[in-house]
Amino acid sequence: MGKTRKWEIQAEGVTHIIEYKQGFVRKIIVDGVTHKVKSSNPIINVIDYEIPFDDTDCKLVVLGNKADLAVNGTFLGTKKPYEPMNGVPSWVWMFVGISIIGGFLVSGIFSLLIGVLMSLFYIQYGLEKKKSHVVSFFRACCVIQVATGFGVASLLF
């Protein structure tokens, strides 16, 4: 069974219940009314869903397995200000390509798989706007792939 997150907010003196259910089908339930939602990214779960109330601005943001509700520009869980999800920056996609293709060229299918796995972290941290994390994971991926290449070469020769 999937995970469920639930929030209760006050808007104009009325208590509203907002639920996010994660499973095979992702659903947002607002006061008993179900809305099916889809991720805007094919690789990692990214949802930025606006829930309209008269004077209260609510946005449900999901990134991976983390869901949080922003009310009037501030997230309830993390207390951070709301920033719209703009997508993955192009330089992150460049790192993804280098890791996957470069990994395959360095030592074949095993390094390609390492590149694919590490690319998931690039995309997640790119969406979270954590540049230093993306660069650190890219460096680690390169080191692991080169070490794997030397390991494969030493076994063959």
Stretch 116-121: mean pLDDT: 92
Residue-wise DSSP of 127-141? HTT-HHHHHHHHHHH
pLDDT for res 11: 82
13 and 49 assigned to the same domain:
yes
Q: By residue range, what is the domain housing residue 11? A: 4-75
Q: What confidence tier does 2 reach under pLDDT thresholds 50, 70, 90?
A: low
97 and 71 assigned to the same domain:
no
**Which pLDDT tens digit goes with each residue over 98-108?**
999 998 998 88
pTM of the model: 0.69
pLDDT for res 142: 94
94 and 152 assigned to the same domain:
yes
83 in any annotated domain: no
81 in any annotated domain: no
67 and 106 assigned to the same domain:
no
Coil, helix or strand at residue 100:
helix
pLDDT for res 94: 94
Here the CATH number for the domain that contains residue 38 is 2.40.128
96 in any annotated domain: yes
**Which pLDDT tens digit goes with each residue over 5-46?**
899 988 888 889 999 998 888 899 898 889 898 888 777 788
65 and 9 assigned to the same domain:
yes
pLDDT for res 12: 80
**Which pLDDT tens digit goes with each residue over 40-66?**
877 778 888 898 887 888 899 988 888
Strands (E), 1-142: 4-11, 14-21, 26-30, 33-37, 46-52, 57-63, 66-71, 74-75
Handedness of CA 35, 38, 40, 45 (dihedral sign): positive
**Which pLDDT tens digit goes with each residue over 58-96?**
899 988 888 899 998 889 888 888 888 777 888 999 999
33: how many CB neighbours lie within 10 A of its CB?
7
152 in any annotated domain: yes
56 and 117 assigned to the same domain:
no
Domain count, the chain: 2
